[in-house]
């Protein structure tokens, strides 16, 4: 494997061809020899031959012309301290070897198996990469956002409510969802939705809703007033047409007028049909006599069974001991929405 990994070197000095020929004679394989300038050359070495390369460099003697006038040649022993070769100061890498008339810079490593060697030498990178991969893989399953698109995205509140009931939302997992089935369920959720599709894109659950082209049921134009059909407290009023005669927090009885069929524009009163919805919180109190001391939940369930079709908001129970057992007074609050139009 080490033959497929090579180190890149840049050598500065004189008589570089002699160095190359000497290395070749010593059996060093030189790859990608390039001449940068008259006194610098670059080449690659198999990583398993670098030790041999430096050993050869260490044993080199070089001829140094000390006196240019006399051209006297002095042979210097590299083991003795001599004149250091001039090092180019612009080069960003520090030299790995200086001597024998040469300055050697290591400018990198490469080769087919270099990535493996890099990971061997940098275990933290390997661990980080593994953790990152697993993190991305695990995080890919999490819903980070739900986006609505399509012509029927105006029905987002209804769809949102339905999805929250199913437990679909932020931080839920894609693996627990059947997106095809969810699309079918959303299509059947409302008659105004012609087509619904849920699909995953990244960590976002995209819900595409297409509005039905067939018009919805026509509005009932005959309603001229909206009356309460139960006794309770008003919690929400939405009047699109008509005039509300009650306000939020008012107590109303059954058959009380809630929204009247007229509109007042400045001083003019114009009769109109009513298009409104009013939500009323109603109370339901029931006393249940049971023998057991811990039958509170049973009493509540009995009441909930009676209010099966109602939207129960709150339920409280008071327990009173009697001669025959316990009297449970269950107080349930449920909401009723009356609509007109």
Partner 1 sequence: MGFLDDLKDDLKAQGYPFPPKYRVLLLGDNVGYFEKIVGILEFSDQKIVLSLKKGSITILGQGLYIKNFCEGDVVVLGKIDSVVKDSL
Strand order in the sheet with 40-46: 40-46, 5-13, 102-111, 95-99
**Least spacing, CB of residue 30 vs partner 1, in Å:** 4
Tokens encoding 97: 């070897």
Q: Select 46 or 242, whichever has its Cβ closest to partner 1.
A: 46
| 41 interacts with partner 1 by CB under 8 A | yes
| 65 interacts with partner 1 by CB under 8 A | no
Q: How far apart are CA 196 and CA 149, in angstroms?
A: 10
Q: Select 37 or 175, whichever has its Cβ closest to partner 1.
A: 37
Candidate list 1, 2, 3, 24; residue touching partner 1; CB under 8 A? 24
**Least spacing, CB of residue 84 vs partner 1, in Å:** 25
| 34 interacts with partner 1 by CB under 8 A | yes
Taken in order 73, 79, 83, 87, the sign of the CA dihedral is positive
Q: Select 41 or 278, whichever has its Cβ closest to partner 1.
A: 41
Q: Select 17 or 204, whichever has its Cβ closest to partner 1.
A: 17
> Footprint of partner 1 on residues 4-23 (CB under 8 A)?
16-17, 20-21
Q: Select 2 or 121, whichever has its Cβ closest to partner 1.
A: 2
Measured CA distances, 93 to 8, 31, 43, 90, 193 (Å): 12, 21, 15, 9, 67
Segment near partner 1 (CB under 8 A); pick from 34-42, 89-97, 183-191, 227-235: 34-42
**Least spacing, CB of residue 117 vs partner 1, in Å:** 21
* Cα angle value 172/173/176 (rounded, 5°): 115
DSSP state of 230: S
Contact 33, 42 (CB under 8 A): yes
Q: Select 32 or 86, whichever has its Cβ closest to partner 1.
A: 32
Residues 283-312, buried b or exposed e (16+ Cβ, 10 A)? ebebebebeeeebbeebbeebeeebeebee
- Number of residues forming the site for partner 1 (CB under 8 A): 16
**Least spacing, CB of residue 60 vs partner 1, in Å:** 16
DSSP state of 133: H
DSSP, collapsed to helix, strand or coil, labels residue 138 as helix
Tokens encoding 282: 């109603």
Candidate list 27, 138, 202, 249; residue touching partner 1; CB under 8 A? 27
Residues at the contact surface with partner 1, assessed by CB under 8 A: 16-17, 20-21, 24-25, 27-35, 41
């Amino acid at each position: 494997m080490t033959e497929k990994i090579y180190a890149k070197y840049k050598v500065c000095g004189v008589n570089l061809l002699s160095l190359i020929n000497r290395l070749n004679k010593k059996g060093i394989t030189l790859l990608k020899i390039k001449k940068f300038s008259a006194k610098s050359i670059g080449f690659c070495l198999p990583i398993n031959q670098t030790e041999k390369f430096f050993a050869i460099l260490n044993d080199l003697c070089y001829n140094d012309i000390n006196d240019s006038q006399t051209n006297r040649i002095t042979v210097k022993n590299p083991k003795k301290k001599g004149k250091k070769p001039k090092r180019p100061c612009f080069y960003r890498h520090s030299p790995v070897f200086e001597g024998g008339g040469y300055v050697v810079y290591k400018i990198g490593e490469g080769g087919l198996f270099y990535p493996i060697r890099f990971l061997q030498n940098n275990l933290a990178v390997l661990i980080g990469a593994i953790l990152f991969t697993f993190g991305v893989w695990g995080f890919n399953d999490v819903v980070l956002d739900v986006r609505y698109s399509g012509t029927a995205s105006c029905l987002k509140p209804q769809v949102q409510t339905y999805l929250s009931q199913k437990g679909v939302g932020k931080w839920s997992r894609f693996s627990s969802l059947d997106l095809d089935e969810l699309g079918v369920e959303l299509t059947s959720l409302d008659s105004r939705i012609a087509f619904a599709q849920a699909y995953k894109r990244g960590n976002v659950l995209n819900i595409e809703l297409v509005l039905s082209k067939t018009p919805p049921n026509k509005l009932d134009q005959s309603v001229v007033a909206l009356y309460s059909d139960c006794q309770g407290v008003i919690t929400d009023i939405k009047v699109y047409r008509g005039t509300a005669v009650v306000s939020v927090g008012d107590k109303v009885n059954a058959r009380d007028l809630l929204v009247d069929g007229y509109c007042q524009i400045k001083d003019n009163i114009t009769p109109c049909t009513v298009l409104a919805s009013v939500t009323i919180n109603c109370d339901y109190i029931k006393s249940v006599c049971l023998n057991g001391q811990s039958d509170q939940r049973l009493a509540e369930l009995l009441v909930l069974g009676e209010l099966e079709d109602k939207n129960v908001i709150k339920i409280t129970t008071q327990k009173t001991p009697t001669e025959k057992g316990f009297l449970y007074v269950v107080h349930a609050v449920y909401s009723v929405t009356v609509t007109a139009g």
